[in-house]
A and B are shown apart, each in its own frame.
Chain A
Amino acid sequence: MFSYALKPEIGNLVVLVDQFHEFCRAGHVPETVEGHLKLALDELVSNTIFYGNPDPDSVIQISATVTGQTMNMEIVDFGIPFDPFSRDDPDTSMGIDERKIGGLGIYLVKKLMDHASYQRVDNRNVVRLRIDLKKDANSNND
C-alpha cells in the first residue's frame, strides 16, 4: 500500500512523485501505467493546490493499493468543494495556432484512467482513480 501526505505547496509534488515511483518499482508496475498515474497525480494535486484554496496547514492525502491487476488510488483534500471532472472537455481537434491548453490535464486523466470519480465526503474532496495494470501489455500486443 502506498500512503503519502503533503502540505499544499507545489514544490512538494517532486517528493510525492519520487515516492510513488519507488512504490511502482517495488510492485513491478508497467512503465506506461506508471507514467499515466504520475500524470494523474501531477494534474490533480497541482489543481487542488492552485484552485482548491486549501488551508496551508492542511494536508493532501494520497493512497494507492494494488489488487490483482488493478491499481486503485485515492486523493483526499480538505479544501473548498471542488469537482475536477465537472468541467467541459476541451476541443482537441484544433491546429497549433488556435489551440488552448485549459482543461486538457483533467481530460487526460479521465481518458487515461479506467475509472475516475469525485465525491464530497463531509469536509473532504475525494477523488478515486482506477487503472488496469495490464494496459501496457495489451497495447503492445496490438
Chain B
Amino acid sequence: MTDFPYELSDSVLMVTLDGRLDTNTSPQLEKFLAEKLETGQVKGLVIDFEPTEYISSAGLRILLMAAKKMKSSGGKLILCALSDHVQEVFDIAGFTPVFNIEATRDLAVVAAQN
C-alpha cells in the first residue's frame, strides 16, 4: 500500500509520493488530496517525487486534477525532485511546460510560499 507522508505548515501542504503512482494507488491519492484540499487551508501544494518508483497515466490524471483545483482556488501547485523516469513521462505527456517544477523540495517550498 502506498503511503502519502505529508506535512502542513504555513498553508503549504507538502506530500511525498513514496512508491508507485499507478492504477492501484492513484485513487488513494485522489481521495487523500480531495480531503486535504477541501479544508480550504491549503494555499500551496508541494508534491515531492523523490522516492517515487514510477508514475503511469492514472497518476498523471490526479496531478492534472490537483492542478485544476489549486488554480481555481488561487493556490499554487509545485512539483519537485522528478527522477529521470518521471521527467521523461512528463516530457512525452506534455506536462513539463504546464506544471511548475523545481529541482529540490526546498526550492519547491519557497516557490509555493511566494
Contacts and interface: CB of A to CB of B under 8 A. Distances in A.
Contacts of B68: 96-97
Interface string A81-103: 00000000000111111010100
Nearest to B71: A96
B85 A108 contact: no
Contacts, number: 88
A136 B84 contact: yes
Nearest to B85: A35
- B interface, over-half SS: helix
B92 A13 contact: no
A43 B84 contact: no
A66 interface: no
A110 to B, nearest CB: 9
A11 B93 CA distance: 26
10 contacts: A10-B24, A13-B23, A31-B85, A32-B83, A39-B22, A42-B23, A92-B94, A104-B60, A107-B93, A112-B89
